[in-house]
Amino acid sequence: MKIPLKWLQEYIGITLTPADLANRLTMAGTEVKGMQDIGGSWANIVVGQITAINPHPNADRLSLATVDLGTEQQTVVTGAPNLKVGDKVAFAYVRAQLVDGHSGRLFRLKSAKIRGVVSNGMVCSEKELGISDNHEEIIVLPMGVEVGASIADYLGDVILDLDITPNRPDCLSVIGIAKEVTALTGQGLDLPEVSYEESISPIDQQISVEIAAPDLCPRYCASLITGVKIAESPKWMQQRLLACGMRPISNIVDITNYVMLEYGQPLHAFDYHQIRGKRIIVRRATDGEAIVTLDGIERTLSEYMLVIADEEGAVAIAGVMGGAGSEVGEETTSILLESANFNPASIHYTGRTLRLPSEACMRFERGIRPELTLPALKHATQLIIQIAGGQAARGLADEYPGKLEQKPILLSTSQVERLLGIEFSLDQIVSVLTSLGFDCKIRESEVWATPPYWRSDIHQAVDLIEEVARIIGYDKIPTTMLSQPLPRPDPDSIIRLKQKTRCSLVGYGFQEVITYSLTSLEMLNRLLPEPHPLEPMPLRVANPMTADQEYLRPNLRANLLAALCANRRHEDGGIKLFELGRIYLPRQKDLPEEPEMLCGILSGDRLEKSWQGGDELLTFFDAKGVMEGLLNRLGVEASFEQGSEESLHPNKQAALVIAGNRLGVVGELHPKVSQAFEIGETVCLFEINLTALLSLTIGHKIFQPIPKFPSIVRDLAIVVDAEITHQEVQNIIKGYPLVVQVALFDVYSGEQVPPGKKSLAYRITFQSPTHTLTDEEVNRVQQQILSKLTSEFSATLRG
């Protein structure tokens, strides 16, 4: 909210500089996010008085104005049509900084010769001073201003731009802020006196008010003014509205807005003669009920919305926008002025649903107090009589079914100390609360504090404590460290598993990426070599911001592949990326499952290109090696079996099996999928479900003693059918006693091996925990292994 300092100063004397005031307000919860210094740049612009106006010798539309500046006189050329001798004007000397009337840019005034006449200075419009867009007319100042004085003294101001938190609708007003400043500075408050003559017959003879939905309308007040004349509002009011960011419309509308800014209570003016049956009924809308609002648009309402209706139908959407039918226009002569209080949630719902945010809506939905209605109504009525003429009906309409008294709240010094960690005396506490308008009754070390009528945010002791803390200042509260006992220690958690995993992958040369959790069906469908509907369908966002962020990802692959494709545009060589994040798997009538997944992709050169060579490409076995290394580090025993994922190459993929469960996959991307992601190279991918893995990584490791006796190493090269897998052979070798390690060191098929066969070469380590092995012992076992391999796989020793 924007608040002109001069307006604020009408209610409270302020001795602080604007910067200090801004700082005090900010620290106490009302953030001043900006300050606009109007007139700060008005050096060399002073009040002048026109003493003579003569025609320009060379131009019909221009004239020569002689201006008295107190110490001297200047004659300048002007094109303004509204000048009269005797007017007091804003006179800019040469060197003054002004806004160009046409381009809107700042410029510095120079001496100029206009159609042959030298002009040393100029008389200014509002636009040239930067206070409005009016460039047609020269500013004419009130007669009371002193000739020669700086113009900033009269037209200058500082506009505070405040960020009001949602709990303080009372601060959405100049008086509300004045009350804050009172508490912060101790300066007294001087609120406007309101009195006017009520000269025509009582209001209740001219209008009846009925609240049919008291839950949504706790209070409805109104006044009636007849014989008004619709016109422009006075300049000073227009200027204040403009400074606060509101557009002047007409005297009546401007007064309702002005009083809203002043008190924080929205008002609405009806054309009294358009109220049919002279009845106001505050009721819920019927489903589908329509009303044309002030902006000329027909709105369809629902039963959750509140309307102000007359005998025949809705005349306004309560608290949100008036109806076109009862709008105050040029012909209006009688005003029914509404000052009501509406249920905040209902107004919020209506404003949000109809997409009609407004200044009024913003105040109602934050919950202003019903007690604000009367003071605001009275002041507005008075201003209407003063400015638009007319006579007020006797009395006011005031239906108040939802009266809620402010209740006293008990606060003790010990409560304050317990929450803040610092002791304040009862005197200090009471003095703060009193300065904020609380009614305080002291009982020993406690105080019963009743909130002032304008505060709607104070309900319990902690609310009072915040008031005390923020006015005394948060900087007065000491800083201490927690001294309570520590919580129970953490169990082994997914947090640690994730950290270990990330660090391992970074160590293997992978770059971590984080991608959006939201994706599109189009992106997910790229993972399918043959199109088919996704099963299950991923979770959908009901209100997606963009089409590419509509579904919650059921895997990490799609985003990683897109990332690879994007990086390929500027990146040669090997790319190794991983993401560790959640996927979202829908469940019936419940939140989705959100397992933590690891997905890595690798593609391109195995080693960074270097002067020492390295032309190999990353393959399936690099991906598998990364997985094995990671699982080894995590202390997990795993095996691999043929995989069956459609997105991967049918023959180059393996499922990761841990404790009988498939917890991951490794493989080469299906060529059609690569193509769909516009990747023209072989991509390998691995995935592990870390959430499922977690329980398997917990458990104590048991120390294995370092062998006391030497080992014997033997190489064994066999030839078997090409279909026999390494794992089958290895399992057999590992099954023999004394065998402690089996390492495959060569796989060969080609010239020296018969067709359809392959050679596998193993390095087998034999060791006994009890004695030094002899060659004979090892020979025996090796012979047994060979016989077994021969009988199982028809293996032959490779010569």
Partner 1 sequence: MSARKNLQSSLGTRFIVPSFEFALTPLLLIAYNFKTPMIKQLEEIESSALQELGSIDNIKQLESWQVRYLGKKSQLTKILRSLATLSLDKRKTVGAYANEVKGNLENRLEQKRQVLREVELAASARREDIDITLPGRPFPVGHLHPITQTLYEICDIFVSMGFQVVEGPEVEWDYYNFEALNIPKEHPARDTMSTSWIDSGTEGGERPMLLRTHTTSVSARIIETMHPPIRVVEPGKVYRYEASDATHTPMFYQIDGLAVDKGITMADLKGTLYEFSRRFFGEDRKVRFRCDYFPFVEPGIEMAIECLVCNGKGCRLCGNSGWIEILGAGMTHPQVLQCGGIDPEVYQSFAFGIGIERLPMLRYGIDDIRLFYGSDLRFLRQF
Check residue 436 for interaction with partner 1 (CB under 8 A): no
Of the candidate residues 11, 424, 438, 584, the single one contacting partner 1 (CB under 8 A)? 584
Site string for partner 1, 41-80 (x = CB under 8 A): ----------------------------------------
Check residue 544 for interaction with partner 1 (CB under 8 A): yes
Check residue 545 for interaction with partner 1 (CB under 8 A): yes
Check residue 566 for interaction with partner 1 (CB under 8 A): yes
- Angular region, 285: left φ>0, alpha ψ -120 to 50, beta rest: beta
Check residue 16 for interaction with partner 1 (CB under 8 A): no
Nearest to 341 by CA among 213, 458, 478: 213
Residue whose CB is less far from partner 1, 380 or 469: 469
Residue whose CB is less far from partner 1, 489 or 799: 489
Q: Residues 143 to 202: which contact partner 1 by CB under 8 A?
A: 165-168
Check residue 418 for interaction with partner 1 (CB under 8 A): yes
Buried b (16+ CB within 10 A) or exposed e, 204-224: eebbebebebeebbbbbbbbb
Taking the CB of residue 154, how many other CB atoms lie within 10 A of it?
18
Q: Residues 476 to 505: which contact partner 1 by CB under 8 A?
A: 477-487, 490, 493-495, 499, 502-503, 505
Residue whose CB is less far from partner 1, 449 or 518: 518
Check residue 608 for interaction with partner 1 (CB under 8 A): yes
Of the candidate residues 55, 116, 507, 735, the single one contacting partner 1 (CB under 8 A)? 507
Check residue 693 for interaction with partner 1 (CB under 8 A): no
Residue whose CB is less far from partner 1, 322 or 344: 344
**Integer Cα distance of 323 and 296 in angstroms:** 9
Closest distance of CB 319 from partner 1, Å:
13
Taking the CB of residue 11, how many other CB atoms lie within 10 A of it?
21
Check residue 698 for interaction with partner 1 (CB under 8 A): no
Q: Residues 302 to 361: which contact partner 1 by CB under 8 A?
A: 344-346, 348-349, 352
HEC per residue, 659-712: CCEEEEEEEEECHHHHHHCCCCCCEEEEEEEHHHHHHHHCCCCCCCCCCCCCCE
Of the candidate residues 260, 465, 716, 795, the single one contacting partner 1 (CB under 8 A)? 465
Kindly give the pairing relationship between strand 712-721 and strand 739-748: unpaired
Q: What is the DSSP string of 5-18?
A: HHHHHTTB---S-H
Closest distance of CB 28 from partner 1, Å:
6
Cβ–Cβ < 8 Å for 456, 471 = no
Q: Residues 361 to 380: which contact partner 1 by CB under 8 A?
A: 365-366
Residue whose CB is less far from partner 1, 542 or 702: 542
H or E stretch including 748?
A: strand 739-748
Residue whose CB is less far from partner 1, 64 or 617: 617
**Integer Cα distance of 132 and 45 in angstroms:** 17
Closest distance of CB 481 from partner 1, Å:
5
Cα 624–625–628 angle (5° rounding)? 85
Interacting span for partner 1 (CB under 8 A) from 266-274, 528-536, 586-594, 697-705 = 586-594
Check residue 462 for interaction with partner 1 (CB under 8 A): yes
Taking the CB of residue 669, how many other CB atoms lie within 10 A of it?
28
Strand order across the beta sheet in which 409-412 lies: 409-412, 446-450, 439-443
Residue whose CB is less far from partner 1, 1 or 795: 1
Closest distance of CB 6 from partner 1, Å:
22
Check residue 210 for interaction with partner 1 (CB under 8 A): no
Site string for partner 1, 373-412 (x = CB under 8 A): ----------------------------------------
Helix (H, G, I), strand (E, B) or coil at 311: coil
Nearest to 560 by CA among 463, 474, 679: 679
Torsion of CA 380, 194, 187, 453, to 10 degrees: -70
Helix (H, G, I), strand (E, B) or coil at 315: strand
Q: 335 — phi, psi (to 5°)?
A: -115, 130
Residue whose CB is less far from partner 1, 592 or 650: 592
Distance of CA 588 to the CA centre of its chain: 31
Closest distance of CB 704 from partner 1, Å:
30
Q: Residues 245 to 284: which contact partner 1 by CB under 8 A?
A: none
**Integer Cα distance of 670 and 691 in angstroms:** 26
Of the candidate residues 54, 445, 460, 794, the single one contacting partner 1 (CB under 8 A)? 460
Check residue 533 for interaction with partner 1 (CB under 8 A): no
Residue whose CB is less far from partner 1, 221 or 306: 306
Check residue 704 for interaction with partner 1 (CB under 8 A): no
Of the candidate residues 3, 5, 8, 28, the single one contacting partner 1 (CB under 8 A)? 28
Check residue 470 for interaction with partner 1 (CB under 8 A): yes
Helix (H, G, I), strand (E, B) or coil at 312: coil
Cβ–Cβ < 8 Å for 730, 702 = no
Closest distance of CB 543 from partner 1, Å:
6
Q: Which amino acid is at 352?
A: R
Handedness of CA 294, 295, 299, 302 (dihedral sign): negative
